[in-house]
Structures are given as C-alpha cells and as structure tokens.
Structure 1
Amino acid sequence: MDGSDTASPIDTGTTVDTVLLDVDGTLVDSTYLHALAWMRAFAAHDLVPSWWRVHRTVGMGGDLLVGEVCGDDVEERLGDTLRTEWADRYRELLPEVRPLPGVRELVDRLTGRGLTVALASSGAAEFTDAALDVLGLSRDAFAAVTSAEDVDNSKPEPDILATALRRAGGRAPVVIGDTVWDIESARRLRAECVAVRTGGFGEAELLDAGAAMVVDSVEVLAQRGWAP
C-alpha cells in the first residue's frame, strides 16, 4: 500500500496500546545527512564505499554499520574511531536537519485516542534531543525516549523497541519506521511495523521485508486519521 491508498487500522489480533516511533528518516529528514557524515568519516581513512551501500545501512546501529559497509577487518581496526568521526561530522550537519511534516499532528492524534507514544531511536541521545528541538517537541511529549546508549544491541535487534515499550508501560505495540531494519526489529519484537518512505527505501522492498502497511510519510497517517 502506498501514499495514494487509504491508511487503515492494522489487524494485529490484539488491542494495540502503544506506538513506537523511529526518529531519523521517520520524524526528521536526516537519513542522507547521516550517510554524508559516514562518507566523510570513511574518506578520512581512505575508505571509499559506494553511497548506495552506506545509505542502505543508515538505520541499523552504528556498532554494526562499519562492519556491514567495510568489512569486519575495518571494524576491528577502526570501528570506534570511525564512529567518533561520524558523530563529529554529523554534528556539523545538524543545522541542515529538517522536520518531516505531520509529526506533531500524528502524536497529538494518537495520544488523544488514548494510545501511549514513545520514541525508539537507534541514534545517540544527543542527536535524538537535537531532532526533538527541530520538531519543536520535548521529551515530555512522549511516554518514553530511548536511544543507542540504553541498550547493548542495536537495530535490527529488538532491544531498543523492547526498552521503549517497557519504559512506556505498554504491552501491545505497533512500530512506525522507515527502513528494513525497523521492520526486522519490530518482527523480532513480534510487533507490526508501519513503514514510511521518507528514509529512501522503496515500497516494494519495505513490503517484502514485512511491513504491514507502507505510506509516503507520517503526514499521510496524520491527514487520514490513522490509528492502530
């Protein structure tokens, strides 16, 4: 299903009480800036992976990304250094991060329907807070806010989602994310995932990965009154 279709409730077989939101590429338009930061970090060490490969790994944890893109030998030699340099490069790009439309409207609608809403990002806490500033929202707008520092295993493992769900006091979640990593993480949590295309993944591959529904953006969900 794409943005031209009607966004409808998901039949999960149980009563959903919590919506877990990814951040980068879902709520803020930052995916390609993350890719640029990684490319600059790699280039500083004469590593030249293809852009498409870096883009497609944005959304999995940084602890996994280096090995996925450049191999285990590079991870072993330079993994921590590259992650530090990526963070430095991304900080330089933060002024270019933009909010994606419809976020506040969707959060207000979901909470107004009595649903618990939490953030479950695989990014660093400082960058999650920066995204909230861009959105004009505070942590208080959500029942829980989690990030990479809160767990040992990042996406596609379900730990971040499970931690957000537990801290929010929820039991039956639906996930909204933009990558195949979000979908896999939700699957491992035994939750459905609504996928948005704002992270650059195509509708077919998101559906093939197991998305319950694909729309162009969270704005579509907000405009059409979506609720699980």
Structure 2
Amino acid sequence: MSDQLEAVLFDVDGTLMDTNYWHVVAWDRAFAEHGVPQPAWRLHAAIGMGGDRLVAAVAGDEIEQRLGDDVRAAWKRIYDEYLYRTRAFDGAQELLERTHEAGLTVVLASSGNPQHLDYAREQLGPDKYFDHVLSGEDVEASKPAADLFALALQKVGLEPAAAHRVVVVGDTRWDVESARALGIDTVGLLCGGRAACELREAGAVETYDDPAQLVERFGSSPLGR
C-alpha cells in the first residue's frame, strides 16, 4: 500500500483562526450568567471540544443536565458579539494555498458552529483552496470523538486502512486524540495557546508555532515530505 500523503484535515479554531481566547471569554460570561462561574484556566483547557461536551467537562454532569442547553445558547449569543473581531492567523491563507498547490486534498474539519465556520471561510481565502468543509453538525459526536475525522476520510474517498495517507493539523490535544483513534498523525500548532509538550504527549508528531512557520518549513514538514 502506498504511503504517499493524499489529504490534510485542518482544524479551524485556534489553528487557522485566532479565536480561542474569544471562546474562553464567551464561555466565561455564559457560565456566569447562569450563576455557575468557572475558572478561566478550565475553560481554556477544554477549548477545542465541541460545545456538546464542554459544559460537562468543565462544570460536571449535574450542571450539564440542569443548565447545559442554556449555557450553550448564552455562549453562542455572546460569541456572536465577538465573531467579527476574530481573524485568520498570519500565514493561514498561504498554508491552505500551499497545501492545495502540492496536490493534496484539503478539508476544513471543525467541531464548531456552521455559522462561525462560514465566517472563517470568508477570512481564509478562495474556496478553491479547500475541497470539503465539515462542522460539528455533520456528526453525532464532536471532538475528542473521532467522528469528524472519520467522516473526512469518507469525503476524500479513503478507507480506514489508508489513514496513514492523511495528516491532521490542529492546536489541541482533542485534535490529536481524535486523529490517533483513527491512526492519523497530527501536526500541532501552538497558536491556540497549548504548549508543545502537551501536544507531543498527546501524540503530535511535530509542532510549529503557527501557520506562517508551517508555511516556511512546509517542504520539510509532514505535509511536504
């Protein structure tokens, strides 16, 4: 079986878009509105999970059962206020373009809200640079479940046994764990606020500061080798 790379699956929030800290602020306000404030460090540690998992992960099952849907609704309303203050990281458009021009299939695979993903697409350049776009609404279980990347494999026409011909680019341990469950390697970016050691301990094969550094080192990275 060929080991040639065929596709790259890009996380969006914290990987291509500078959004993670706005998410922390929005979740912080949402929990506080409902009388259950949470430490910001716990919120930051959970960013990258789908919202369907985050409330329980941060505040526990009792809060999820009692207030989960209300907190998520508040988070979306508040984050929508910040959405137009978010922007693509330097090098993000160039990274998608470089990957596309290398002949690789490009997939945006985000556990996020489709509306937010639509805004990100506008910031990330021409649609011709990505072949498929997937959001959390396309699967039953969000990251760190492997559903989103499993669907991405289907979209690019690869069987699970060919997972070694795909690379994920992400910024959180949830991206790495989701990919590892399918046998996919992950390149970690630090621009989402996670340390290189955390991503490597989760299983990332290499780490780079941000999209711009990955573009600079593209030829020697797992995307270009």
Is TM-score (shorter-chain normalized) higher than 0.5?
A: yes
Aligned-pair CA distance for 1:137: 3.7
Total equivalences in the alignment: 215
What is the rounded CA distance, in whole Å, between the counterparts of 1:112 and 1:142 in structure 2? 11
Does residue 37 of structure 2 align to residue 48 of structure 1?
yes
Which moved further from structure 2: 86-95 or 13-22? 13-22
Matches of 2:112 and 2:126 in 1, distance apart? 17
**2:153 maps to what in 1?**
165
Deviations along 1:134-157, whole A, 9 cap, x unmatched? Answer: 23343x431110001000010011
Partner of 2:93: 104
CA offsets per residue over residues 45-90 of structure 1, 9 Å max, x none?
1111110000110101111100010000000011111111111111
Aligned to 1:129: 118
Which residue of 2 is the match for residue 75 of structure 1? 64
Counterpart code for 1:37:
A
Give the 3-state SS of the residue equivalent to 1:36 in structure 2: helix
Q: TM-score, normalised by structure 2?
A: 0.92
Indicate yes or no: 2:143 matched with 1:155. Answer: yes
- Name the SS of the counterpart of 2:141 in structure 1: coil
Is this contact kept in 2: 1:118–1:165, CA < 8 A?
no
Q: CA RMSD in A?
A: 1.3
Q: What residue is the counterpart of 2:184 in the other structure?
A: 191
- AA matched with 1:176: V
**CA 1:113–1:134 in structure 2 vs 1: closer, same or farther (change >3 Å)?**
closer
3-state SS in 2 of match to 1:98: coil
1:206 to 199, 202, 212: 199
Confirm or deny that 1:30 pairs with 2:19. Answer: yes
- 1:202 Cα deviation from its structure 2 partner: 0.4
Distance in 2 (CA, whole Å) between partners of 1:52 and 1:14 is 40
Contact 2:97 2:129 in 1 (8 A): no
Quick check: 1:35–1:51 contact (8 Å CA) kept in 2? yes
Please tell me whether residue 223 in structure 1 is matched to residue 216 in structure 2: yes
- Separation in 2, partners of 1:164, 1:142: 12
* Corresponding residue for residue 66 of structure 1: 55
Report Cα offsets for 1:78-104 as digits up to 9, x if no partner.
111111111111100012101101112
How far apart, in 2, do the equivalents of 1:190 and 1:78 lie? 36
Contact 1:125/1:147, CA 8 A, preserved across alignment: yes
Q: Which ranges in structure 2 are unaligned for 5 or more consecutive residues? A: none
1:33 deviation in Å? Answer: 0.3
Aligned partner of residue 153 in structure 1, secondary structure: coil
Instruction: Tell me if structure 2 keeps the 8 A contact 1:57–1:69.
Output: yes
Distance 1:107 1:62 in 2: 26
Query: Displacement of 1:111 after TM fit?
Result: 1.4
Task: Indicate if the aligned counterparts of 1:143 and 1:167 stay in contact, CA closer than 8 A.
Answer: no
- Write the letter of the residue equivalent to 1:156: P
- Secondary structure at the residue paired with 1:154? coil
| Residue identity in the other structure for 1:182 | D
Deviations 1:115-140 (A, max 9, x none): 101010000111111111223343x4
Give the letter aligned to residue 159 of structure 1: D
